[in-house]
Structure 1
């Protein structure tokens, strides 16, 4: 704790250095750059802008207020990371929650690591650092991976090395982007897990994805139930064979007697029986009076 405090005191001195126009540091080779880059510097919050490359788009208000309360009591324990844009102007690379929470409680400065990077490097740093450090939802992670592919031209192999994830894990996240946008929103809002999404993505038609999505929500299906439902969707004939009971043929001795029952009781009696002769009779009635009539006929009252 003493070292952190000492560094932040030093950071206040470096902050003054950065505000001196004669010491405007633009590249890592500039004078005094070695004193700033890689060290903790106290920066004015008003001198920092949010990162347009930030992959996180949802910030939970309750969690943000809890973080703000913690910062009010203990201060910002983990410095944010920024990149220098121009004289006394910086842009967030990572730490937007800490940045927002600090502004929420009216702090004027925040401890920060300063990086010197171009737009492409900043995008890559923001995406990689957020994937590794932030509690992004599965869709935000998938979008971050897709941006690394589209904008940085990283292959899945290279991405695997950069973020420390297996290629198969990256592929599973990217496949979620094939889901209907409504389902993606459901995952982001916590109605579905990534496991549900991985099962649903095996259905190609978006309308059918949505039908099953509605079933998952209404019936509170587990991931295993969803996987089973997807399997039944893909193999409907097999599913029908498994669920449709076989129609048993009525034995002859019953068929020969049904007409007698029908005539005697004046109703259509139904009968079911196994090959061994075990079964049941079903005698319908239309009212209480009809029931009493049949009862008298059967009991001989």
Structure 2
């Protein structure tokens, strides 16, 4: 009698295990609870595209419609090859961290779900991941890159060296992109729209006033000037000798090699350069208008 009444602890544990594995109630159709989903296992899950919210930290503002449509057709035929990255928001919703083009194209292709890797990250981590992932891409326009670096600097207090290491860029490139934010908004818009390239924009930064930059940008875009033509045009606008109020000797008396060296330095540095030479002796004067320009100059000269 006593043996029959004594429960077997192993059978009791097994019973609980079977109940956990085979629940009697019907499984809810909603996505799985956040706790098991947000494990950083790296394994992709199929997430409903309508359950994903756009990333508010996204720095990209423009997408090539033709390329997006081409990607949608590819996804419709073969599916999404590389999973997107999301984080769980709770109540079955997710926020996009990386892979916005694939997400948008999947919607166009009529896909109900998309493979996604769920990461458990904070707001700051999500913002940093989004910005750094974008900066590692090759299709951001120069102004999007400039604003992304600026956001890393402002929101995360990163130095230019730190930003360079995190994105795999060199420090001089980071500094040059940040300098684009000194352009007037109208000129920034031309760069963002593709009417002016990074090279055009960098040449314009040598001008002193916003009015000069805007007038020059309009002429450069209207005449479809090349970057080299733009550099020559800006150099002529600067005319540093006349600005300093000097009565210069005729151009024929200026050594051609000195003039060529001056022009080359001015193009390379994006700053105003003046070489004063007398029989092989003289000085090189480099003018800068901000600490960012000075930092870039030091970086370039130290290399």
TM-score, normalised to structure 1's length? 0.68
The residue that corresponds to 1:230 in the other structure is 234
More divergent stretch after superposition (217-226 vs 202-211): 217-226
State the Cα deviation string for residues 121-159 of structure 1 (Å, max 9, x = none): 100000001111351101001100000011111111111
Compared with structure 1, are the counterparts of its residues 217 and 74 closer, same or farther at alpha carbon in structure 2 (3 Å cutoff)?
A: same
What is the aligned partner in structure 2 of residue 156 from structure 1? Answer: 160
* Correspondence for 1:24 among 31, 34, 42: 34
Cα distance, 1:115 vs. partner? 0.7
Q: Trace 1:97-116 onto structure 2 (pairs within 5 A).
A: 97-116=101-120
Summarize deviations over 1:78-117 as a string: whole Å, max 9, x none: 1111111113211000111110111112111000111111
CA gap of 1:103–1:238, structure 2 versus 1, over 3 A, is same
Aligned to 1:297: none
Question: What SS class does the counterpart of residue 116 from structure 1 fall into?
Answer: coil
Alignment gaps of 5+ in structure 1:
1-15, 26-30, 246-301
Where has structure 1 moved over 2 Å in runs of 4 or more?
Answer: 16-21, 31-34, 236-245
Shift of 1:164: 0.8
> 1:161 offset after TM fit, Å?
1.1
Question: 1:65 corresponds to which residue?
Answer: 69
**Matches of 1:18 and 1:167, distance apart in 2:** 50
**C-alpha separation in 1, matches of 2:41 and 2:87:** 10
Root-mean-square deviation (CA, aligned residues, Å) is: 2.7
1:250 matched residue in structure 2: none
Q: 1:243 & 1:219 partners in 2: Cα distance?
A: 30
Aligned residue in 2 for 1:128: 132
Give me the whole-angstrom Cα distance separating, in 1, the residues matched to 2:235 and 2:104. Answer: 45
Map of 1:296 onto structure 2: none
Residues 20 and 54 of structure 1: CA distance in aligned 2, closer, same or farther (over 3 Å): closer
- 1:168 is paired with a residue whose SS is helix
What is the match of residue 81 of structure 2?
Answer: 77
1:191 and 2:201 aligned: no
Q: Which of residues 134, 142, 147 in structure 2 aligns to 1:143?
A: 147
Classify the secondary structure of the residue corresponding to 1:84.
strand
Residue 237 of structure 1 deviates from its aligned partner by 4.2
Relative CO higher for 1 or 2, CA cutoff 8 Å, sep ≥ 6?
2
Gapped runs of 5+ residues in structure 2?
1-26, 253-303
Contact 1:82 1:94 in 2 (8 A): yes
Asked whether the 8 Å contact 1:42–1:112 carries over to 2, the reply is yes
Q: Which entry has the higher C-alpha Rg, 1 or 2? A: 1
Q: What is the aligned counterpart of 1:172 among 170, 176, 179?
A: 176
> 1:88 & 1:43 partners in 2: Cα distance?
10
More moved, 58-67 vs 47-56: 58-67
CA distance 1:51–1:18, shift in 2 (3 Å): farther
Partner residue in 1 for 2:3: none
On the 8 A contact 1:18/1:88 being kept in 2, the answer is no
Aligned residues: 224
C-alpha distance in 2 between matches for 1:65 and 1:191: 23
Deviation at 1:32, TM superposition (A): 7.1
